[in-house]
Amino acid sequence: MFCEKAVELIRELHRAPDGQLPAFNEDGIRQVLEEMKALYEQNQSDVYDRLLRIRALRWEYGSILPSTIQFHMSAEEMEWFNHYKKSLATYMRSLGGDEGLDITQDMKPPKSLYIEVRCLKDYGEFEVDDGTSILLKKNSQHFLPRWKCEQLIRQGVLEHVLS
Amino acid sequence: MFVSDFRKEFYELVQSQRVLLFVASDVDALCACKILQALFQCDHVQYTLVPVSGWQELETAFLEHKEQFRYFILINCGANVDLLDILQPDEETIFFVCDTHRPVNVVNVYNDTQIKLLIKQDDDLEVPAYDDIFRDEEEDEDLSGSEDVDGSEPSEKRTRLEEEIVERTLKRRQRREWEARRRDILFDYEQYEHYGTSSAMVMFDLAWIMSKDLNDMLWWAIVGLTDQWVHDKITQMKYVTDVGILQRHVSRHNHRNEDEENTLSVDCTRISFEYDLRLVLYQHWSLHESLCNTSYTAARFKLWSVHGQKRLQEFLADMGLPLKQVKQKFQSMDMSLKENLQEIIEESANKFGSTPAFRYQHPFLPFTSLLWVYTFFMPSFHCLSCFRSNLDKLYLGLELAKKQLQAIQQTIASCLCTNLVISQGPFLYCSLMEGTPDVMLFSKPASLSLLSRHLLKSFVCSTKNRRCKLLPLVMAAPLSVEQGTVTVVGIPPETDGSDRKNFFGRAFEKAAESTSSRTLHNHFDLSVIELKAEDRSKFLDALVSLLS
């Protein structure tokens, strides 16, 4: 039980008559300090875990996070996320010659430029290269460039049809 | 307009664009679609695929997508109606129509800008000449042209006026005659519905022209053609002709088997051509079941009667096939019996014909092309590619097909035994009651058509009335109990050498009009309609008087 020892120490001090100083309970204090340290470390690992998850979200959702997720993040976490974004962008720019290489695309080695996908949910309009849009309705099937579909496949809106 | 160069005027146009494919739900359409998809995937043409089972779905989907696409491809739908009138597209929109439905609507034929027909013109089309059915409206306005000429004598004016009147009357009469002729020509042209060359074969031909044809595409073309044959959409002669065409392609693709040195590895799929028994699914069933459920044998043996069952057993005994063998799974039959089956049966039954067929050899399992499984397995593109992966779906489809065939035979037996098929004069009529087992299975037009054709074949064998044997059949089955609707299907008569032409499309239309019956022509085949059950009797009466 957390804080038991700490409460005990406080009670001891309280029990002593006014003004008197009981013996310095070195053991007790040390135990409490250790408990405090353990709790602090656990909190730290929880925060760290959150940061790892936020980092994964960058790879899943792209550089703009959905507002529902942003709502769950603290200001410091947002700041951390922005720093991470910047580092990743700098790194990507340094790869692949002048233009840089977007390594968040093509998580698995692609077999072809275009893929056949089936729409699993009603998504609505989806913009394509030439500026026009396609209607993604449930159960419709489309043949589109792989890179356009990746995000939606990861989100579960589209499903890759293997023929 | 008819496209003459499929590559330049169709494929190369759409190659750089995004297209929308509307695909009807028959097997031939699916096969054609698979071939086209394979070509598009090879060339990275972006497309969206929308399966449609009737006009309502097509119209809705078109409205949803019309802003997003300029090019639309319609497979096995759209040729036999005035497409522009129904869909009301923008001027920029272009439709490519690859459809087996005939006759092709005259507006589609003569529209030069928005309708491109992917139809071979050597399919006896007999389209009426342009001048016989279209007429410039401006010609008629010349009648009111002549003005008064100044400075002429009154008498001259009068004769000129008289001449004008005579001319005008003459022109008006000519116009009426032209219109009467036009009505006759259109009536003759549009009266009979039939089917042209398989769309899958048309698509395969396109692939071949572009040297992009593969063995798989060839198989799909074969399946598409077989679907037409199985559903009595084409004549025997057309089937045999088209089989010949495909056989040449098969030889071209698969000849390496014959050369000992260059045989294909065992893992490759091969297509071979041979003559096979016309027994449905016999390799995946027992021979007995197959004999009972093939329309031809069920009808000839009259298997709905006890007497008929006995005859079948005698026939089998005659051929020396033990009942025990015949009732077990075909694959488990004795090798000696299996190998000589074709000869045995041919010897015993003269008319028990064998039919040219294709066999698709999977590395481990042979399949014949008389694959009814495709007919019944509702639109699933997976199924057509499932030889390599997904054999489970194929087996599931086989089981469904067997169930459907058995349901058909049972329904036929009950219809014939309870005399449900009655003659109305110019046609036979049969109506399935609600509560008949499996009746909801037959609310779908494809199943109902199949049932009707088999029923007619069996009926013809069962009746002694010579006149009745030559009659067509109208069949009705309940569609929706809540809405009180029935599906009605019209089948042409069962005659040897029938050209498979069906006049019920127009007949249904006229009967519905004259009685204000509430009908819905939702299906791409005009000879299938939905009708309010309450209007059934007056509709039938009108049909009888129309066709008498």
User: What average pLDDT score do residues A134-146 get?
Assistant: 84
Q: B103 near B125, Cβ under 8 Å? A: yes
Is the ipTM reported for this complex over the cut 0.90?
no
HSE (CB half, 13 Å, CA atoms) of B93? 19
Residue B26: per-residue pLDDT: 85
Q: Would the pLDDT of B145 be above 50?
A: no
Residue B377: per-residue pLDDT: 38
Query: E strand or H helix at A34, and its extent?
Result: helix A26-61
User: pLDDT tens, B89-114?
Assistant: 999 999 999 999 999 999 999 999 99
User: What average pLDDT score do residues A46-55 get?
Assistant: 88
What is the C-alpha separation between B492 and B488, in angstroms, rounded? Answer: 14
Angle between helices B27-43 and B199-209 (to 10 degrees): 20
Instruction: Please report residues of A whose CB lies closer than 8 A to that of B64.
Output: 135, 137
Question: In chain B, which residue's Cα lies nearest the Cα of A163?
Answer: B385
A134 in B contact zone (CB under 8 Å): yes
Q: B276 near B359, Cβ under 8 Å? A: yes
Amino acid at A106: D
User: pLDDT tens, A88-126?
Assistant: 888 888 876 666 667 776 666 767 788 888 888 888 888
Beta strand ranges found along B68-195 (DSSP E): 71-75, 94-98, 101-102, 115-117, 194-195
What is the C-alpha separation between B262 and B20, in angstroms, rounded? Answer: 42
Number of C-beta neighbours around residue B295 at 10 A:
21
Q: Would the pLDDT of B151 be above 60?
A: no
CA distance A121 to chain B (A): 15
User: What average pLDDT score do residues A38-63 get?
Assistant: 86
Q: Would the pLDDT of B340 be above 70?
A: yes
Task: Using alpha carbons, list the distances in angstroms from residue B326 to B279, B291, B333.
Answer: 13, 10, 7
Instruction: Give A 21-60 residues with CB within 8 A of chain B.
Output: none
Instruction: Please report residues of A whose CB lies closer than 8 A to that of B41.
Output: 114, 116, 143, 163
Instruction: Please report residues of B whose CB lies closer than 8 A to that of A132.
Output: 18, 67-68
User: What average pLDDT score do residues B233-242 get?
Assistant: 86
Long-range contacts, stretch A2-11, CB < 8 angstroms, 24+ apart = A2/A35, A2/A39, A3/A35, A5/A31, A5/A32, A5/A35, A6/A32, A6/A35
Question: In chain B, which residue's Cα lies nearest the Cα of A133?
Answer: B68
CA distance B47 to chain A (A): 5
Provide φ and ψ at B429, rounded to 5°. Answer: -135, 140
Query: E strand or H helix at A88, and its extent?
Result: helix A75-94
Three-state SS for B432? Answer: coil
* Percentage of chain B exceeding pLDDT 90: 29
- Structure-model confidence comparison of residues A100 and B453, the more confident one: B453
Angle between helices B536-547 and B504-515 (to 10 degrees): 120
Instruction: Please report residues of A whose CB lies closer than 8 A to that of B381.
Output: 141, 163
Task: Using alpha carbons, list the distances in angstroms from residue B59 to A25, B62, B97, B513.
Answer: 86, 5, 15, 23
- Select the residue from B47, B75, B383 to test the A interface by mutation, using most A Cβ atoms within 10 A: B47
Number of C-beta neighbours around residue B325 at 10 A:
17
Residues in Cβ contact with B182 at an 8 Å cutoff, skipping those fewer than 6 apart:
B132, B133
What is the C-alpha separation between B527 and B491, in angstroms, rounded? Answer: 8
Positive or negative, the Cα torsion across B88, B94, B98, B102? positive
Amino acid at A124: G
β pairing state of B47-51 and B94-98:
unpaired
Q: Would the pLDDT of B482 be above 50?
A: yes
Question: In chain B, which residue's Cα lies nearest the Cα of A116?
Answer: B41
| Nearest in space to B76 (alpha carbons), one of B53, B57, B47, B93 | B53
User: What are the residue ranges of helices labelled H in B379-503?
Assistant: 381-384, 391-417, 445-462
Residue B386: per-residue pLDDT: 43
Q: What string of DSSP letters covers B309-337?
A: HHHHHHHHHHTT--HHHHHSBGGGS-HHH
Residue B88: per-residue pLDDT: 92
A147 in B contact zone (CB under 8 Å): no
- Structure-model confidence comparison of residues B246 and B368, the more confident one: B246
Q: Which residue in the set A128, A132, A143 is minimally distant from B41, CB to CB?
A: A143
Q: Would the pLDDT of B370 be above 70?
A: no
Q: Residue B531 forms beta bridges with which residues?
A: B486, B519
User: What average pLDDT score do residues B434-439 get?
Assistant: 80
What is the C-alpha separation between B271 and B377, in angstroms, rounded? Answer: 22
User: What are the residue ranges of helices labelled H in B54-105?
Assistant: 55-65, 83-87
| Nearest in space to B526 (alpha carbons), one of B171, B103, B187 | B103
What does pLDDT average to over chain B? 81
Residues across chain B? 548
Q: B532 near B518, Cβ under 8 Å? A: yes
Q: Would the pLDDT of B373 be above 90?
A: no
Q: Which residue reads 């007056």 in tokens?
A: B538
Q: Which residues of B touch A (CB under 8 A)?
A: 18, 37, 40-41, 44-50, 64-65, 67-68, 381, 385, 389
Q: Would the pLDDT of B382 be above 50?
A: no
What is the C-alpha separation between B546 and B548, in angstroms, rounded? Answer: 6
| Nearest in space to B297 (alpha carbons), one of B284, B280, B314, B281 | B280
What is the C-alpha separation between B228 and B246, in angstroms, rounded? Answer: 14
pLDDT band at B367 (very low <50, low <70, confident <90, very high): very low
Three-state SS for B100? Answer: coil
pLDDT band at B257 (very low <50, low <70, confident <90, very high): low
Q: How far is residue A45 CA from its own chain's centroid?
A: 14
A101 in B contact zone (CB under 8 Å): no
User: pLDDT tens, B213-235?
Assistant: 888 888 888 888 888 888 888 88
- Select the residue from A141, A149, A161 to test the B interface by mutation, using most B Cβ atoms within 10 A: A141
User: What average pLDDT score do residues B357-374 get?
Assistant: 41
pLDDT band at A161 (very low <50, low <70, confident <90, very high): confident
Q: B100 near B119, Cβ under 8 Å? A: no
Residues in Cβ contact with A26 at an 8 Å cutoff, skipping those fewer than 6 apart:
none
Range with the largest mean pLDDT of B97-106, B153-162, B433-442: B97-106
pLDDT band at B381 (very low <50, low <70, confident <90, very high): very low
Burial class (CB in 10 A: 0-12, 13-18, 19+), B497: exposed
- Structure-model confidence comparison of residues A23 and B461, the more confident one: B461
Between A53-62, B40-49, B253-262, B526-535, the lowest mean confidence (pLDDT) is in: B253-262
Q: Which residue reads 């589209």 in tokens?
A: A158
Amino acid at B52: V
User: What average pLDDT score do residues B512-522 get?
Assistant: 89
The DSSP output letter for B247 is: H
User: What average pLDDT score do residues B509-533 get?
Assistant: 90
